[in-house]
Amino acid sequence: MIFWKRIQQAINKKWYPRCVTVGKPVETQELANRIARESTVSPADTHAVLRALPNVMADFMKESRAIHFEGLGWFRYTINAMGKGVDTKEEVSDDQIKGLRVQFTPDRTRNPENGTYTRALIASEGVTFMEWLGKESDETQVPDDEEEDSGESPDPIV
């Protein structure tokens, strides 16, 4: 079940439904235990692989390579540039780069019968929505990157 709540947008004062995450986030060990139950790999080995994954991905991405995690999606770096741009191609330089972000694009599969696409991580069946009537204190606080000006700074270039 996916919970939602009513949110008023500051920019246009209109109301919209917005997803709410509740409860404790699923941590790496819980993922490892679940994957181990569905495979022949031990929870400890699965956990070790999951813990190594971010560093391995970062190593490849530092080489300006995208990561395609089959069945999950694509990860790639994007650049945040300072200012309003420059007038000529020759003026563009790495001095304009103020930070990096990771862009994730879920995999998608095409249904040959009707031509529609299904994104990874989106259940094609059994999804129900229910308005969240609980307390805000019960909501899980997770980083929100949905809005362009979310207040979060990009990771600085070191």
123 in the same domain as 151 = yes
Helices (H), 18-129: 28-37, 43-61
Q: Are residues 99 and 45 in the same domain?
A: no
β-pair type (108-110, 2-8): unpaired
**Rounded Cα gap, residues 103 and 133, in angstroms:** 32
User: Are 85 and 150 contained in the same domain?
Assistant: yes
Better-scored residue on pLDDT, 118 or 66: 66
Residues 15 and 52 in one domain: no
Q: What's the CA gap between 79 and 101, in Å, rounded?
A: 6
- Within this chain, do residues 85 and 136 fall inside the same structural domain, yes or no? yes
Share of the chain residues as helix, strand and coil, in percent rounded to the nearest 5: 25, 30, 45
The sheet carrying 73-81 orders its strands as 67-69, 73-81, 97-106, 155-156
Asked whether residue 140 falls in the same domain as residue 84, the answer is yes
86, 149: one domain: yes
Question: Do both 149 and 81 map to the same domain?
Answer: yes
Domain-ending residue, one of 58, 79, 105 = 58
Q: Global pTM?
A: 0.74
Domain with 42, as residue range(s), is 23-58
pLDDT in tens, 74-125: 999 999 998 888 999 999 999 999 999 999 999 998 888 888 888 898 876 7
| Domain count along the chain | 2
- The pLDDT score that the predictor gives to residue 10 is 93
Quote the pLDDT of residue 134.
83
Q: Are residues 45 and 97 in the same domain?
A: no
Q: Are residues 35 and 11 in the same domain?
A: no
* Helix orientation angle between 43-61 and 28-37, rounded to the nearest 10 degrees: 120
- pLDDT tens, residue by residue, 35-63: 999 999 999 999 999 999 999 999 999 99
138 — phi, psi (to 5°)?
A: -85, -10
